[in-house]
Structure 1
Amino acid sequence: MMASCARRPCRPRLPERRLSWRVVGILLVAPVLLLSLNSDACGEPPKFETMKLKGKPKKYYEVGEKIYYECLPGRITVFPVMAYCEQNHSWFPLQEACMKKECDWLALQHGEVVAPNKTFSFDHEAHFYCDEGYYLVGQQVIVCNLRGNDVYWSDNPPQCKRSDEFSLVGDSKLICVGNNKWSSDPPQCKEFLYFSVVRCEHPVLVNGRLVSGVRETYSYQAVVLFECLPGFYLNGSNPVFCGGRNTWEPEMPTCIKGFKPTHPTKPPVSKYPGYPEPNESALFEELEELDAGIIAVIILTLLVGLGVLCTCLYRCLQRKKG
């Protein structure tokens, strides 16, 4: 018998499967290639407080690529504002290259200028103090301000002028009180320089303290304000000032132990309707000074005595009925 010449069927090709494996291989290799490329570059440029990057930043920079910065308004350049990507994939240099602009330096004749922040850059203050025998004309504190890219002082610097004017020392108004007598001694006109030698002693308030006007020395017309310690109340004038006689005027107040009286104490008010008689007022004051325990004993004694009295009266009435 003759063998059959029919061809055997061939297996179908699978191009799709081999294609898919190629795609998978590419996807696996791509990240590795990207990582190797990015490892040879620098990342985003650093940010600073006094300067900003020129142009739009990129995510990656090649080795040796340069970037440039510019100062923010109100700053000036003190170092090169350029950096470049190094071989170790870091930026160099990394430092602030700008500093704040400063207002013109100030000087005060017959006085002193103080910079609390050590510099006169914008947003900082300048304080002025005159020497002994001089007084300040103008603002004691001015500020260095920023306008756009320029700086300027908020006001003109003050001046120190010699105290050579005359002023009135004493009461400006006198009243005739009778018997050829005035209400106070006549005032005097003295040079303002005189006030520079007027000195009052440091104000000391027993059982109290200063709350305003604290200073090393107290010259003419220096004002101080007091308060008493807890458990004391203030009696007298508050505040007081340093007078032309090197004394505090009016007279220094005192701190009295206890609570400040709330009822009137002047003699005329005793005639007001409803105000207690002097003997009643004295009795109330004595009761206020007693201890709470003593008052309780007194009240209890009175109640017991009242009870005994009522018991005796009751027994007497019962005997009469019997």
Structure 2
Amino acid sequence: MTRSCEPRRAPPRAPASPLSSSWCFVGITLVTLVLQFPTSFGDCGKPPEFQSMKLKGTPKPSYSPGERIHYECNPGHYYSYFYSLTTVCEQNSTWRPTDEACYRKECPAPKVPNGEVYEQYEPQTGFQFDKNAYFYCNYGYYLKGEPVITCKLSGDTVYWGSAIPTCEKILCEAPGEIANGKHTNDWRVEFEFNEVVSYTCDPSNGPQEYSLVGERKLTCSGPGKWSSDPPQCKVVLCEPPVLKYGKPLSEMKEKFFYKDEVAFECLKGFYLNGSNPVFCGGNSTWEPEMPTCIKGFKPTHPTKPPVSRYPGYPKPLESPPIEEIFELDPGIIALIILTILVGIAVICTCVYKCLRRGTKGVN
């Protein structure tokens, strides 16, 4: 038998079944979807925590995507409709949204006629609980009550911890009447802030006129408060002052009246210690205390502290008077003069010797 030389052909394959092709497509699709899922599929973890709201119910250790949890506002807070009280576990295992949805409640803004109320540190945010309100009054008014009050929380209710203060008008009752004198507008029983009254003395029926001792003008400076006590109208006479080892520089009279001044100087060999000048005070005595004349030379530096309180003592940047510089001890002055004379003698001797040597050299 003769073998054919043609190549051997494989038998034809049977056509693929449509059903098997569909299953392959479904398998590939499922694998793709599984690869796209996160490794922590179905676990959002613990619910988020907030300052203004708390979770309703008991939390679970984990949540699946699509699960929702609900919150409610804490006491003293109110819900804002711009945000949600519900949070959802997303497919990527995160919670959305995570915004605070509640705000602190506020005490009603105080209204103070003739005054102002301020918030400290965070203006224009309202008077939430635990925040303070600060009160100030307009010019001519004073604050009656606490200057600072706090918005407090009790349960779910907010309230002011103290009564809201008021701004009252500053008024003064008429100042006191004085003997032998009067003040302006004495017919009025009430004065407003910064109003002024002036006092004058009546004519005297005796040989001496009255002196106004004290402040002539009084100002209403606070509620029921004048700037000083009313003055007095009385006869003030001081005897001519006498200073031992000294003499007056001012004109001397038989009698001195209120606020008359007298200045002094000490005799040669004495220096003045104390206030200078002095004046006739309201009690018919010389004020301040009369100075004294002390034998010797005035010390260059005061020895009684505090020197800054001495009348006329120079300030730290000022130079002492020229007379104080030269008021030295006689022994020191003599030593200085002797030193100068010896120096002049030495210089003259040297000059003489030099001139004499020059003359001999010429000869």
TM-score by length of 2: 0.41
TM-score by length of 1: 0.46
Larger Rg belongs to: 2
More helix by share: 1
